[in-house]
Amino acid sequence: MGSVMPPDSLDFISTAGKIQLISLLDSMQQRSADKDYIDYCEYCLDIIRQGIEMNYNEVLDFIGVTGEPVPAEVSVEVIFLMEMFDHISLSMSRLPAADAHNVSLECYTKFCGFEPSLSAHLAYYIFLIRTNKHRVPVFKEALPLTLSHYREMMLKYERYKRNIYLSQEMIMDICIPREQQIKFIL
């Protein structure tokens, strides 16, 4: 058990510790009207009641007591990134199907997730998804984009973000060409 939990974490072993966690999750569940949130609270309650050690960190993340704090600049960066990918996705849906398909073949137009070393970025992304603030899914790519790619995209996006919809040319200017990523790997 000691290897799973950090020494200063909440008590999942004692009856008093479990009661405290169950009470907290019950309270969180009762205050919400969101079905997904209520279901996730129930999932966390089951983890505690059943003593599923492997998922304890997930419960701690959910109630907000683990990990390092997420710096404000990371939060702002992740929000801007989600807004950019939302805008690209919405604009892609407005393009003629053939044009959208061509852009997708030539460029990375979808969010590929974060590298494992970016725990603060990932933690805030998960928070945004769990709280329904953003719904940008992660798409698996053979050669995924990195934070440096996303930052390059965001710099270009800054010029266009005030447009209601992005044109095909704007999207291709913002997005990383697949050809560039292949050369980068080689």
> Which residues sit opposite 107 in a β-bridge?
177
DSSP label at residue 95: S
Domains in the chain, start-ordered, CATH in brackets? 15-63 (no CATH), 72-185 (1.10.3190.10)
Count, residues in the chain: 186
The mean of the pLDDT values for the chain is: 83
Encode pLDDT of 72-96 as tens digits. Answer: 999 999 999 999 999 999 999 999 9
Whole-prediction pTM: 0.67
pLDDT of residue 9: 46
Query: Tell me, what amino acid is at 139?
Result: F
DSSP tally for the chain: helices H, then strands E: 9, 0
Q: Does residue 71 carry a pLDDT above 60?
A: yes
Q: Does residue 15 carry a pLDDT above 90?
A: no
